[in-house]
Amino acid sequence: MEKSIDKKIIEKIAAMGLLAALMVIVWAWPALAQSFDAETAENGIVRIVVYDDPQKCCAIGSGFVLNDQGFVGTNWHVVASPDSGGPYANGFVLASGSTQQYPFSVLWMDAELDLAIIRVGSGFNRPQLPLTDQLPKKGGDVFALGFPGGADPRLGGPAVDATVTAGVLGRIYEGTWKGTAAFTVLQHSAHTNPGNSGGPLFDACGRVIGVNTQAALIRVVKADGSLARVPRATGIFWSSQITVLMQKMRENNVAFQPITAACQVETLGKDVEARRQAQAAQRRLVEQQQAIERTEGVIRQVREQIEEVEIRAGKAEARAGEAEEKVRSITTQLIIWGPIFAILLIVTFVLALRKPRQQAIRVYKEYSQRVSRRVNRPTGDQAAADSGLSLAGFDASGDPVRVSILAADMSSGDGVIIGRSSELSHIVISGQGVSRRQARISIARGRILVEDLNSTNGTFLNGRRLSPYKPAEIRPGDQLAFGKTELSVNKL
């Protein structure tokens, strides 16, 4: 009863926070109108798709049109293969709003600058984006456009149109991505995610001032050994100033005409007081967002405490279930082997009376081996669980997930625990909605079982939500879902 009350309180707090945020946004919106035209800018945005092996999933990034000759700017790490260090073997671009694929070739790429210039094949006709070396003042409005993988729908394929986010220019400094090449770096708060790399950063007049490159992320290791990136901080994103790419365009004879005039942002009716009101509303919006983040932090702490209590209760229940299973196993063994040993004893006694002792011992051993082979022969279900399982699919960010679980691991101890906590789980899945200790996969009596460990968002088997601590049998071909991570079950 206490756990259900806690969850209701948490849901009310979250709902109040979201309502407050919406009220502030609606109130502040009329005063924050900008001259940036996202629909016009989107015409010069492309999604870049690259891969080495046609049989394997691809990598994605963003880019933007530099001139009317088909040249596109992007990041080095978007088009560079991690296997060879050079360009990917295959690749194409998709213009925003279109599904037509255009092949491309890499004209120039630099790992230290993390920049690249590619040229799209014939038939590609997209308007170029204006480039400028004029930066807004610190705190000025900026906008990011690109194709973050997390924005793609779970069903129906990738998003066709680009995603726009807004923020402010946080600071301007000289820095590096790696190596020794120093250049101007723009820190801003326009949210970018994996897939935004190589996309443009705009000023309020719709001119490109930077190339989106990095966010404040940390890397975690998935169960299959691959790396995943998760946020380390909020509101911190980096772009290289467009002047860095401009210099390389000049060196590679890529034509362009930079804009040198300063951006004149439109205000409401050219009214200075209206501008001040808009800035004050924006400050209030930031303060409200900070308050929401603090509230979300408290909610996360409460949820973690509830999960810890549930974990302790689940462990106690699991130990009780294991003890009960051991008792059943011993009872079953007694039922199976008791009569057999009784028969063997009788046979041995009779033979001892009628034949020499050595012959009786030989008969006993031979008969025991025949019985043992008959009793220990694995059933069909046990044979299916001999090798193990392979779980494959995608997490909430669209990143591929593949997990291999051996039968020996599922059969030993508590089985295999899956969750997002490396301390509480054997296999770590960091997808959205996955609890710190999500589910257990084990083998009992030749059957492979999955058991939800009272997770927050539930464990689903073929679309059906499992009751906590009630194991259900899984077979190759089934579908498992942990939060927003969806996996197919196959035999190793």
pLDDT, tens only, 70-115? 999 999 999 999 988 899 999 999 998 888 999 999 999 999 999 9
Q: What is the mean pLDDT of residues 137-156?
A: 83
- pLDDT more than 90, % of the chain: 45
pLDDT confidence of residue 13: 54
The model's pLDDT over 180-234, given as tens digits with 9 standing for 90+, comes to: 778 999 999 999 999 999 999 999 999 999 999 998 766 666 677 776 666 566 7
The model's pLDDT over 397-424, given as tens digits with 9 standing for 90+, comes to: 888 888 899 988 898 878 999 999 988 8
Per-residue H/E/C for the chain:
CHHHHHHHHHHHHHHHHHHHHHHHHHHHHHHHCCCCCHHHHHCCEEEEEEECCCCCCCEEEEEEECCCCCEEEECHHHHECCCCCCECCEEEEEECCCCCEEEEEEEEEECCCCEEEEEECCCCCCCCCCEECCCCCCCCEEEEEECCHHHCCCCCCCCCCCEEEEEEEEEEEEECCCCCCCEEEEEECCCCCCCCCCCEEEECCCCEEEEEEEECEEEEECCCCCEEEEECCCCCEEEEEHHHHHHHHHHCCCCCCCECCCCCCCCHHHCHHHHHHHHHHHHHHHHHHHHHHHHHHHHHHHHHHHHHHHHHHHHHHHHHHHHHHHHHHHHHHHHHHHHHHHHHHHHHHHHHHHCCHHHHHHHHHHHHHHHHHHHHCCCHHHHHCCCEEEEEEECCCCCEEEEEEEHHHHHCCCCEEEECCCCCCCEECCCCCCCCCCEEEEEECCEEEEEECCCCCCEEECCEECCCCCCEECCCCCEEEECCEEEEEEEC
pLDDT at 143 over 60: yes
